[in-house]
Amino acid sequence: MADTTDTAHFNRARNAAESPVKRFFRATEIDTRLLGMVGAMLIIWIGFDFLSNGLFLTPRNLWNLSVQTASIAVMATGMVLVIVTRNIDLSVGSILGFVGMIMGVLQAELLPQLLGFNHPATWIITLLAGLALGAAIGALHGMIIAFLNVPSFIVTLGGLLVWRGATWFVTSGRTVAPMDATFRLMGGGTEGSIGATASWIVGLIACLAIVVSILNARKQRKRFGFPRRPVWAEYLLSAVGCLLVLGAVTIANSYPWPTNIARRYAEANGIAWPEGGLFIAHGIAIPVLIAIVIGIVMTFISTRLRFGRYVFAIGGNPEAAELAGIKTRWVTVRIFALMGMLCAVAAAISTARLNAATNAQGELDELYTIAAAVIGGTSLAGGMGTIAGAMLGALVMQSLQSGMVLLGIDSPLQRIVVGVVLVTAVWLDTVYRARAK
């Protein structure tokens, strides 16, 4: 029973193996697409660094970049699942605004009356209420899409208008400030960073996790006698992974507190002010940590859980998924509820960072979120996309923006550049995919 197409493909694979570059990628199983994105981002970074005379690739700028990316990156992870199932969510910016406003009012006006000012439970009650509200709004959108068969484009376009309008009604357009002190830590800044020692600990745990997961995958494949990566590839992947993590921690730990804050801290703690100034490192910012944890959780959900498998199966062939007995409608509801929750997390990060809830919070965020997911390789035709890619896409978008701010480019021109880059990136991706077939 010789299968001709099979053997043909086999030969092709063998021929390809002759090129050392291809052999390298096959052995390491690295996603070349993702690698290409990292390459593009490095080019953007080095280009901006060159144009700004070395201002871009400084610990300070990179640290700020990571904090600025966090909110969009969090939402982009959910947008991947939405787009993978051939839906779209245009309402994320407005949900962010509405949930942010509710959380603002809750912690700045309602809870202080009930619990007293700066009560330690304020932040968690606020956050949980925000998450529940976000999930409820998302679930509502999902149910209208799944059970009333209204296209997601329309439902969320309506949501964009409704929740933006609702945001205004909460306080009649008034900005709410300040936020609770603990809540504010989620926004980053000097206080909202975990410091040098904790950052190293986080880094080491991450390295350990990388090594353990690579070992575990190898053991599993060995148990069932499947082909394994060559040992050198495993070492290389572990080494590169750990180096990247530790490099990122080093950069975060090289960005010191501003002098006056450090001086105040020294005075408060009775530390003598040294000659050259006191070096207290920021370390990893809490919003960045939140985004990374969400990235890991979402990757776990999308690749290791049945729910994630269903999301991709529905994206690949909705009819087949339905015939296989998957409750596709409920999966849709859950995806949108999850998206709403992620909007709430993003709302917490951005209100905490701004130390205020405003009427215009999250405007245009839906577009940046969709752009991040799409630049990150999520196919609008459905069925394809990765969480890591979308987060990287968010970082690329933010790099472009903050690089242009650094160069003093006018904001109308910034938008033009971002728009052109979005279209170009998707075009390049289409070309790449056509070739890969």
Least Å from the CB of residue 12 to other proteins = 12
Given 45, 48, 312, 368, the residue binding other proteins (CB under 8 A): 312
Closest by CA to 96, choosing from 39, 152, 49, 163, is 163
Least Å from the CB of residue 313 to other proteins = 4
Nearer to other proteins, 43 or 305 (CB): 305
Given 275, 319, 412, 434, the residue binding other proteins (CB under 8 A): 319
Given 384, 406, 409, 426, the residue binding other proteins (CB under 8 A): 384
Q: Is the dihedral of CA 163, 92, 311, 307 positive or negative?
A: negative
Least Å from the CB of residue 224 to other proteins = 4
> Is residue 2 a contact point for other proteins (CB under 8 A)?
yes
- Token pair, residue 337, equals 């509820």
Given 174, 264, 304, 433, the residue binding other proteins (CB under 8 A): 304
Nearer to other proteins, 119 or 218 (CB): 218
**CA–CA–CA angle 233, 34, 67 (5° rounding):** 110
> Is residue 100 a contact point for other proteins (CB under 8 A)?
no
> Is residue 3 a contact point for other proteins (CB under 8 A)?
yes
Given 12, 23, 306, 433, the residue binding other proteins (CB under 8 A): 306
Stretch that binds other proteins, among 44-52, 146-154, 267-275, 315-323 (CB under 8 A): 315-323
Residues 327-366, one symbol each (x = binds other proteins by CB under 8 A, - = not), give ----------------------------------------
> Is residue 10 a contact point for other proteins (CB under 8 A)?
yes
**CA–CA–CA angle 390, 103, 194 (5° rounding):** 60
> Is residue 6 a contact point for other proteins (CB under 8 A)?
yes
**Binding footprint of other proteins, residue count (CB under 8 A):** 35
Least Å from the CB of residue 132 to other proteins = 23
Nearer to other proteins, 18 or 29 (CB): 29
Q: What is the 3-state secondary structure (H, E, C) of the chain?
A: CCCHHHHHHHHHHHHHHCCHHHHHHHHHCCCHHHHHHHHHHHHHHHHHHHHCCCCCCCHHHHHHHHHHHHHHHHHHHHHHHHHHCCCCCCCHHHHHHHHHHHHHHHHHHHHHHHHCCCCCCHHHHHHHHHHHHHHHHHHHHHHHHHHCCCCHHHHHHHHHHHHHHHHHHHHCCCCECCCCHHHHHHHCCCCCECHHHHHHHHHHHHHHHHHHHHHHHHHHHHHCCCCCCCHHHHHHHHHHHHHHHHHHHHHHHCCECCHHHHHHHHHHCCCCCCCCCCCCECCCEHHHHHHHHHHHHHHHHHHHCHHHHHHHHHHHCHHHHHHCCCCHHHHHHHHHHHHHHHHHHHHHHHHHHHCCECCCCCCCHHHHHHHHHHHCCCCCCCCCCCHHHHHHHHHHHHHHHHHHHHCCCCHHHHHHHHHHHHHHHHHHHHHHHHHHC
Residues 281-300, one symbol each (x = binds other proteins by CB under 8 A, - = not), give -------------------x
> Is residue 323 a contact point for other proteins (CB under 8 A)?
yes
Nearer to other proteins, 118 or 303 (CB): 303
Residues 211-230, one symbol each (x = binds other proteins by CB under 8 A, - = not), give ---------xx-xx-x----
> Is residue 432 a contact point for other proteins (CB under 8 A)?
no
> Is residue 305 a contact point for other proteins (CB under 8 A)?
yes
Nearer to other proteins, 325 or 408 (CB): 325
> Is residue 435 a contact point for other proteins (CB under 8 A)?
no
> Is residue 376 a contact point for other proteins (CB under 8 A)?
no
Angle, helices 92-105 vs 365-375, to 10°: value is 130
> Is residue 15 a contact point for other proteins (CB under 8 A)?
no
Given 67, 75, 90, 321, the residue binding other proteins (CB under 8 A): 321
Given 31, 49, 191, 322, the residue binding other proteins (CB under 8 A): 322
Least Å from the CB of residue 378 to other proteins = 12
Identity at 334, one-letter amino acid code:
R
Closest by CA to 304, choosing from 227, 391, 243, 220, is 220
Residues that bind other proteins in the complex, under the rule CB under 8 A = 1-3, 5-7, 9-10, 220-221, 223-224, 226, 300, 303-306, 309, 312-317, 319-326, 383-384
